[in-house]
Amino acid sequence: MSELFTEGAPIQDTKAPDGPINERWDKRRFGGKLVNPANRRKLSVIVVGTGLAGGSAAATLGELGYQVKSFCYQDSPRRAHSIAAQGGINAAKNYRNDGDSIQRLFYDTVKGGDYRSRESNVYRLAQVSVEIIDQCVAQGVPFARDYGGLLDTRSFGGVQVSRTFYARGQTGQQLLLGAYQALERQIAAGTVKMFTRHEMLELIVVDGVARGIIARDMITGEIETHIADAVVLASGGYGNVFFLSTNAKGCNVTATWRAHRKGALFANPCYTQIHPTCIPQSGEHQSKLTLMSESLRNDGRVWVPVKKGDTRKPGDIPEDERDYYLERIYPSFGNLVPRDIASRAAKNVCDEGRGVGPGGLGVYLDFADAIARLGRDAVAAKYGNLFEMYERITGEDPFEVPMRIYPAVHYTMGGLWVDYDLQSTIPGLFVIGEANFSDHGANRLGASALMQGLADGYFVLPNTISDYLAKGPFEKIGDDHEAVVEAREAVKGRIEKLLSIDGDRTPDSFHRELGALMWEYCGMERTDAGLRKAIDRIRELREEFWARVKVPGENEELNQNLEKAGRIADFFELAELMCIDALHREESCGGHFRAESQTPDGEALRDDERFAYVAAWEYTGHAPVLHKENLEYEYVKMTQRSYK
Ligand SMILES: Cc1cc2nc3c(=O)[nH]c(=O)nc-3n(C[C@H](O)[C@H](O)[C@H](O)COP(=O)(O)OP(=O)(O)OC[C@H]3O[C@@H](n4cnc5c(N)ncnc54)[C@H](O)[C@@H]3O)c2cc1C
């Protein structure tokens, strides 16, 4: 493997405080420097992204009095992909009195992530979770309430308490409207300047420090330079490297990848979450997959026929010829096992030939028992919009026949490496939300992404960034600074190159082929031989891309092919790093399942002796350099994860 990467010096999180875990966040906040309110007006911050992480961060930084510039590629900040989140947001409020606590949320998250996340970060996340709900309720977010008027909760996978707050199946939308209102207030107040339809295409680094971005106005094609004292990336995840995923079509890796090329380490790129409950792919033409929220597993029962190749209609299969395999294999957690476990179990039964629907790539999610127990109206009240969505897409009514579901790419736990302050390895560059390598280890528990995004944006970053900004005032940088000119010229050169190839293949055709490769070899199950094959093929395909891609039109207009081509070029480089990361990690953990490393009953088998570290990769232009950050567990004992 030595030809694929080299190993460099270990890396450490120098900002993480020590002492009792429940005091560390307070300790860091107290230890960090503050910027006095009069000085904040003189300091500027760029925030790329207006999803839950970026929207909440920009609004909060604006409220604090900094000069903020906020960027997104959509026509409105409130169209960020976060709007798609359905199921809910976790918080250790323990309103149900069912044994929840900050300690339990911390424990569930570390265990759920298969002991590959940092204890200090996860504990802080659990602490801050309770503040998020108060903040959002104060903003007027319409969380579901129970009969007595109190906030309602439901359960998500990997836990035995009910701590997920929700707004029907539209939690992300309602939370984003809250953050968006706060952002709009700052825009009106003049503290935040909004740049919609702008795509960041390069990071400006001056003397090793992040000082701005180069962005393309997607309507006019103008290449703009924006300078600031600090840059925050909140640009979301990169699941679309697989082409087919539940992510919004626009989600991409360009912002973080450009920063990676400029020196920010990329951590755990191979950690991908495959969600067990998505509508199965219906054909080759498809460009997007649809999630059916995990919340449905509160009441839906997952099953397949006992017999292989059973083509009877579900209603014609008697109870004793059904295999409720999650309830059978994992009696303690049943249908609410974590996503990685449920996805692999679905793959296994389909591999055995017991899958249902076209191609045998599906399992049933059945609500018949819930409808009989709770009544149709109660089920509709909880899941109505999800049922409607399913029916519109498949033409089948889940009140009458079980849903058919299959795993699909959904979320990426990897991302830019950040320290406890959420600062990357480039000083002045902070990364929040799904874009950082996050607090979820090798597997994210359901309803924890919204929690992390809002924790980062409303509470963590606004506190930690002041320690950095307190170093100001910073040197004034002009548009004609050598590093700025170089970044701008690099962007122009790349656009010209993409437009000039004039080949015979569309950007989408390359993306589709890359995605199929990634799904086959770096998807639900990975092997040494498969990953090596993928790396060779990705390299060939990338070369072909730069020789044969056809990007019609010009730069000086709305040109979606140009946008796509730039993003796909970055996906190619990321895909190779993902495969190298997956190849070097010769263990299974969470969503990263290496066929060579499994227990006798087919569960992921970690190798803590060799792999209890974060893999942080340095870009070199050829073989990447691996820096390891050791993970130590003082408060949670590392054990073989079991949900049986
Ligand atoms: C279908 C679906 C349902 C989900 N449901 C849940 C759920 O119920 N609970 C939960 O906890 N999680 C859920 N998740 C995960 C969760 O929605 C995401 O992880 C989270 O919303 C990501 O938020 P974010 O702010 O980090 O990024 P995003 O919401 O993806 O926002 C990214 C922002 O960055 C901007 N951007 C990106 N690149 C650039 C660039 N180069 N230049 C300028 N702007 C750029 C975009 O315009 C956008 O504004 C779900 C995910 C999916 C796909």
Q: Tell me the three state secondary structure of residue 442.
A: coil
And the tokens for 224?
Answer: 């703009």
What distance in Å separates the CA atoms of residue 89 and residue 451, rounded to the nearest whole number? Answer: 6
pLDDT along the chain (644 residues), means of 10: 91 96 98 97 98 98 98 97 94 95 97 97 98 96 92 90 92 97 98 98 98 98 98 98 96 98 98 95 88 89 96 96 96 91 93 93 96 95 90 95 96 98 98 96 95 98 98 96 98 98 98 97 97 98 98 97 98 98 97 95 93 98 97 95 81
The closest of 480, 404, 463, 441 to 614, measured between CA atoms, is 441
Quote the ligand 1 centre to 468 CA distance (angstroms).
26
| φ, ψ for residue 435, nearest 5 deg | -70, -25
Q: Which atom of ligand 1 is least distant from the CA of 199?
A: 42
For ligand 1, atom 5, the nearest C-alpha belongs to 85
Quote the ligand 1 centre to 458 CA distance (angstroms).
16
pLDDT at 601: 85
Pocket test for ligand 1, best of 56, 72, 413 (most atoms within 8 A of CB): 72
Residues with CB under 6 Å of ligand 1 are 48-54, 71-74, 80-82, 84-89, 171-172, 198-200, 234-237, 246-247, 251, 254-255, 291, 410-411, 433-435, 447-450, 453
Confirm whether 24 is a catalytic residue: no
Quote the ligand 1 centre to 82 CA distance (angstroms).
4
Pocket test for ligand 1, best of 450, 491, 564, 570 (most atoms within 8 A of CB): 450
Q: Which atom of ligand 1 is least distant from the CA of 166?
A: 8
And the tokens for 608?
Answer: 């803590």
Quote the ligand 1 centre to 52 CA distance (angstroms).
7
Looking at residue 560, its amino acid is Q
Quote the ligand 1 centre to 549 CA distance (angstroms).
28
Return the percent helix, strand and coil in the chain, to nearest 5: 40, 15, 40
| φ, ψ for residue 333, nearest 5 deg | -105, -20
What distance in Å separates the CA atoms of residue 69 and residue 609, rounded to the nearest whole number? Answer: 45
* 8 A C-beta contact, residue 444 and residue 273: yes
What distance in Å separates the CA atoms of residue 127 and residue 105, rounded to the nearest whole number? Answer: 9
Q: Which helix (H) or strand (E) holds 219?
A: none
Which member of 339, 354, 488, 526 is catalytic? Answer: 339
For ligand 1, atom 51, the nearest C-alpha belongs to 85
User: How many angstroms separate the Cα of 50 from the Cα of each of 167, 293, 454, 566?
Assistant: 20, 23, 12, 21
Q: Provide the phi-psi class of 303: left if phi over 0, else alpha when psi is between -120 and 50, else beta.
A: beta
What distance in Å separates the CA atoms of residue 44 and residue 58, rounded to the nearest whole number? Answer: 11
